[in-house]
Amino acid sequence: MLEPILATPHGTAPAGEGIRLAGDAAMPALRMRRMAGPGAPVLYVHGATFPSALSVGWRIDGWSWMDDLRARGFDVWAFDFAGYGGSERPAAMQGNMPYGRAGAAAEQIARVAAHIRARRGGAKLLVIAHSWGTIPAGIFAGAWPEMVERLVLFGPLAQREAGGGAMPAKGANLVTREDQWRSFQSGLPEGRGSPIAPERFDAWAGAYLASDPGSAERDPAGVVVPSGPDADFADAWSGRFPYDPGVVRAPTMIVRGAWDPLAGDADMAWLAGRLNGVPGGARRVTLAGGAHRMHLENRRRALFDAVGDYLLGR
C-alpha cells in the first residue's frame, strides 16, 4: 500500500511548487501547482464548482490524489480555471452572459499544458478531468493531440436529449455550503449514509468558502463561480453536446462511481460510442460504492488505484 509523502491534517495545502501564469488582455492569470516527481507529467482538470486545491489537492487523513499520483512516480500538475481558487476572477463574471464556457476553458488547458511541456522538454501529458471539466479536456485533447498521451474522463458528462435546464442569464452563480452538501448526497441509494463523513465535509466546506475572499460578505455565505459550465450542461442535456468526442485520438478511460447520477450507464454508453477515434475504443470502469465526487469520498482509494494503474499502462 502507498504511504503518504507527508502526514498532514485535513485540508493542508499540498506540498510543492506554486506557479502563477501572468494574464494579459486576451487571457486571465492562472494559478498552477506542481508536486514534482520523476515520471510522466499528469495534469488534473477540475470541475464546475470548486478549484484544484479542493479537489485533487485536498488531503483527507493526510493523503490527497496529488500525493497518491506522486507516490506512484508521476510529476503531478494542477491548475484553477479563471474564476476559481487562486486564478483571476475576470470582470466578465459580473456581466449578463455565461462566462467560462468549455471552448475558452480548453484554451486555458492548452496554455497550462504548453507551460508544463516547456518545463518537461516537450513531454506529452497524461490528463485526468472531472465532471464538467471533461468537456474542455475533450476539446483540448482533440485540438492539440500532440500534447496528450492518455486521457482519463472521471464522472464525465454525456449528451442527453431533454431536461438540460435554462441557459444562464448572468456571468456567475453563487454556490453555498448547503448546495455543496446536497451535491455530495446526490444519487445515493435509499438508506445509504453519506459518502463523506460530516466532520470531513465541515473541514472541506470551510476551506471552500475561504477559496473566495468575498464569500463571508454574502447572505447566504457562498462562493461565486463562472456560469459557463451551467450553459454547457444545458446544451449537453438538450441534445447539443459542446464538441464531437470522435476528435479524441489518445487512449482514453471513462471511470465513474456506480451511484453517480450525472454519469449514468446510458450516459457512459453514449460517450464510449462517440469516442470512436480512440485506439481500441475507450476503456469503461464502474466502481462500486462511489458517487459523483468519488475522489473525496470514503471509497476514494478504489478510484486512485484504477486511475493510477491505467496511467501506468496496466
Reading the block at residue 197, the C-alpha cell is 463523513
C-beta separation of 48 from 70 below 8 A = no
Give 290-309 pLDDT, tens digit per residue. Answer: 999 999 999 999 999 999 99
Q: What is the rounded distance in angstroms from the CA atom of residue 142 to the CA atom of residue 134?
A: 12
Element containing residue 197 per DSSP (H, E):
none
Give 172-185 pLDDT, tens digit per residue. Answer: 999 999 999 999 99
Sort strands 172-176 and 222-226 into parallel, antiparallel or unpaired. Answer: antiparallel
Reading the block at residue 36, the C-alpha cell is 514534482
List of residues 6+ apart from 7 with CB closer than 8 A:
62
Q: What confidence score (pLDDT) does residue 1 get?
A: 31
Mean pLDDT computed over 273-291:
97
Give 203-236 pLDDT, tens digit per residue. Answer: 999 999 999 999 999 999 999 999 999 999 999 9
- Structural domain spans, the chain: 17-311
Give 43-58 pLDDT, tens digit per residue. Answer: 999 999 999 999 999 9
Q: What is the rounded distance in angstroms from the CA atom of residue 136 to the CA atom of residue 44?
A: 12
- Name the one residue in this structure whose C-alpha cell is 452572459: 97
Q: What is the rounded distance in angstroms from the CA atom of residue 310 to the CA atom of residue 145?
A: 19
Give 143-171 pLDDT, tens digit per residue. Answer: 999 999 999 999 999 999 987 778 898 99
Q: What confidence score (pLDDT) does residue 37 get?
A: 96
Quick one: pLDDT band at residue 280, thresholds 50, 70, 90?
very high
Q: Is the pLDDT score of 195 beyond 90?
A: yes
**In a 3-state reduction of DSSP, which class is residue 304?**
helix
Reading the block at residue 94, the C-alpha cell is 459580473
Quick one: pLDDT band at residue 8, thresholds 50, 70, 90?
very low
How far is CA 139 from each of CA 189, 241, 268, rounded to the nearest angstrom? Answer: 33, 11, 18
C-beta separation of 242 from 135 below 8 A = yes
Residue 91: how many other CB atoms lie within 10 Å: 9
Ordered alpha helix ranges (H), 154-299: 177-185, 198-210, 228-236, 265-274
Considering only residues 275 and 3, tell me which one the structure prediction assigns the higher pLDDT.
275
Reading the block at residue 111, the C-alpha cell is 496554455
Q: Considering only CA atoms, which of 68, 11, 49 is closest in space to residue 184?
A: 49
C-beta separation of 109 from 141 below 8 A = no
User: If you ran DSSP here, which 8-state letter would residue 63 be given?
Assistant: B
Q: Is the pLDDT score of 68 beyond 90?
A: yes
With 0-12 / 13-18 / 19 or more C-beta atoms within 10 angstroms meaning exposed / middle / buried, residue 160 is middle
Mapping DSSP onto H, E and C, the string for 12-53 reads CCCCCEEEEECCCCCCCCEEEEEECCCCCEEEEECCCCCCHH
Hey, which CATH number is domain 17-311, 3.30.70.240, 3.40.50.1820, 3.40.50.720, 3.30.56.10?
Answer: 3.40.50.1820
Q: What confidence score (pLDDT) does residue 17 get?
A: 85
Q: What confidence score (pLDDT) does residue 11 get?
A: 53
Q: What confidence score (pLDDT) does residue 237 get?
A: 95
Q: Is the pLDDT score of 3 beyond 80?
A: no
Tell me the Cα Rg of the chain. Answer: 18
Give 81-109 pLDDT, tens digit per residue. Answer: 999 999 999 999 999 999 999 999 999 99
List of residues 6+ apart from 307 with CB closer than 8 A:
128, 152, 154, 253, 255
Mean pLDDT estimate for the chain: 94
